């Protein structure tokens, strides 16, 4: 079975092809136009998707060595995401499915991140064992998910305000770093002292997250020190980045530890854009090693928004005969 998948939930246009259970191609076109605005501009994102989607799909088919007539199904991200961006991918997928007379499969973007660990490039590639816990961390989501099966997922905890990636980007912005700020924080943190500055950590009951207090604490630290030294940020960028990164990791792992104790599992995964962070990857590896848990750290190409994970999630739905009606609209907000 051969599936073409389309991802257009935010500011990356991506298409991928899975054939006989193996990933044959995964093409991503990133939008640099948003760098000038310090964040994603929805209208510009949807326009860029319209420009990119045809060449991206064409390249994905070419790399896979597949003709559109060979496809058995078309998959697309239905949500959550920016509604204008989703409409571009949804409309294109529906039109192509109608023209080819093949089924349509809708995919929850968050499911895609969790199931990205099942993407195979070789037949003998290993995959996680159900049930497993996934720490899903990105610019828009911070969730602890218990995956009972490929189609049954339970949110154990989630952010009640900012997401982890949002905290990285907002703090990076006030430091004068380019957008997206997360990768720049990661780079600077490798050169800094993570114990130099202490930032507030939340005390939220249960397994939910909060990062707004950390962001406020970070801003107060900058404000108070800039009064005495206008060059404070420039002189201390590396230490600020390292301390910020350590605090975010501590917050993430504190709740993850509670989740593992309440829901013992043998496998633990991370996913989403923040799972590309070097400090997060190392900390999760060490966390799992200490507890005798198998850690699943995704290749960086599968951490950001990509169609390969959409294709993999669609493959599970195709096997179950779970198809999407042609009148199904995209949705901007939805949980697992």
Q: Identify the pLDDT of residue 31.
A: 72
**How far apart (Å, rounded) are the C-alpha atoms in residues 145 and 158?**
9
Backbone phi, then psi, for 52, in 5-degree steps? -90, -25
Alpha-helical runs (H) found in 66-108: 83-100
pLDDT < 70 regions, the chain: 32-33, 37
Angle between helices 164-174 and 212-228 (to 10 degrees): 10
Contact call for residues 16 and 318 (beta carbons, < 8 A): no
Q: Is 20 left (phi over 0), alpha (psi -120 to 50) or beta?
A: left
Question: From edge to edge, which strands make up the β-sheet containing 267-271?
Answer: 153-158, 142-147, 132-137, 267-271, 294-296
Question: From edge to edge, which strands make up the β-sheet containing 12-19?
Answer: 22-30, 12-19, 2-7, 73-79, 104-108
H/E stretch holding 223 reads helix 212-228
What does the buried/exposed string (b/e) look like for 253-267 if buried means 16 or more CB atoms within 10 Å of the residue's CB? bebbeebbeeeebeb
End-to-end CA distance of the chain: 26
**How far apart (Å, rounded) are the C-alpha atoms in residues 245 and 212?**
15
Q: The tokens of 255 are what?
A: 């709740």
Q: Residue 211 gets which letter from DSSP?
A: -
Instruction: Please report how many Cα atoms fall inside a 13 Å half-sphere around the Cα of residue 5, on the Cβ side.
Output: 37
Q: Identify the pLDDT of residue 25.
A: 98
Q: Identify the pLDDT of residue 33.
A: 67
Residue appearing with tokens 């049954």: 152
For 2-51, how does the pLDDT look when each residue is reduced to its tens digit (9 = 90+)? Answer: 999 999 998 899 999 999 999 999 999 987 667 776 778 888 889 999 99
Contact call for residues 117 and 313 (beta carbons, < 8 A): no
**How far apart (Å, rounded) are the C-alpha atoms in residues 180 and 189?**
15
Q: Residues near 18 by Cβ (< 8 Å), separated by ≥ 6?
A: 2, 3, 5, 24, 308, 311, 312, 314, 315
Q: Identify the pLDDT of residue 289.
A: 98
């Amino acid at each position: 079975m051969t599936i073409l998948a389309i991802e257009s939930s935010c500011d990356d246009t991506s298409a991928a092809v899975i054939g006989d259970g193996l990933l044959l191609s995964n093409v991503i076109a990133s939008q640099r136009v948003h760098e000038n605005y310090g964040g994603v501009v929805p209208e510009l994102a949807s326009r860029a998707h319209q420009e990119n989607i045809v060449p991206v799909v064409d390249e994905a088919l070419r790399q896979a060595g597949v003709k559109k007539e060979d496809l058995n199904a078309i998959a697309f991200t239905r949500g959550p995401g920016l509604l204008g961006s989703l409409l571009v991918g949804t409309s294109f997928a529906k039109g192509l499915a109608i023209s080819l007379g093949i089924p349509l499969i809708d995919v929850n973007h968050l499911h895609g991140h969790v199931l990205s660990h099942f993407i195979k490039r070789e037949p003998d590639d290993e995959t996680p064992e159900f049930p497993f816990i996934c720490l899903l961390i990105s610019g828009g989501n911070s969730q602890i998910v218990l995956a009972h099966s490929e189609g049954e997922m339970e949110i154990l905890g989630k952010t009640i305000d900012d997401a982890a990636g949002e905290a990285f980007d907002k703090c990076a912005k006030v430091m004068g770093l380019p957008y997206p700020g997360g990768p720049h924080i990661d780079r600077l943190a490798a050169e800094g002292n993570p114990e130099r500055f202490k930032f507030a950590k939340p005390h939220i009951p249960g397994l939910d997250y909060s990062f707004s207090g950390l962001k406020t604490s970070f801003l107060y630290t900058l404000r108070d020190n800039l009064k005495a030294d206008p060059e404070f940020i420039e002189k201390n960028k590396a230490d600020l980045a390292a301390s910020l990164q350590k605090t975010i990791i501590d917050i993430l792992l504190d709740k993850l530890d509670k989740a593992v104790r309440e829901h013992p599992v043998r496998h633990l995964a991370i996913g989403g854009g923040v799972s590309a962070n070097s400090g997060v990857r190392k900390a999760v590896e060490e966390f799992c090693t200490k507890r005798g848990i198998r850690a699943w750290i995704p290749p960086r190409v599968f951490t950001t928004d990509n169609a390969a994970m959409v294709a993999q999630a669609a493959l599970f739905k195709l096997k179950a005969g779970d198809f999407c009606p042609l009148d199904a609209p995209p949705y901007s907000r939805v949980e697992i």
